[in-house]
Amino acid sequence: MSLFLIVPIIIFLTVIIIFIVVLSIIITAFKNAKNTNNAQQISTPPQTTPTMQVKEKLICEYCGGKYNSDDTTCPHCGANCH
């Protein structure tokens, strides 16, 4: 083989090898970025909803039904609670 045939083949193979190396670096970078995002999602505690305050239940003096302490009228009989 002459030198004119060997040099282009070597250059072609070198370009192919460089392309494969760059492609593998890009793929590895994307995988690392994805794993970092998953780790951040796993490490953050889940958001909790605020708990509702339990209202004190009172007994209506007219009908005996229960009503919340912040009600102004009895939900059962409509009597004034306060």
- Report the distance separating Cα 16 and Cα 2, nearest Å: 22
pLDDT at 10: 94
pLDDT digits (tens), the chain, 82 positions: 677 889 999 999 999 999 999 999 999 998 888 776 655 555 566 666 666 666 788 888 889 888 888 888 898 898 887 6
74 in Cβ contact with 62 (< 8 Å): yes
Per-residue pLDDT at 20? 97
Q: What is the pTM of this model?
A: 0.41
**pLDDT of 76:** 87
Which residues lie across from 59 on neighbouring strands?
Answer: 66
Token output for 20? 């494969």
Q: How far apart are CA 42 and CA 35, in angstroms?
A: 10
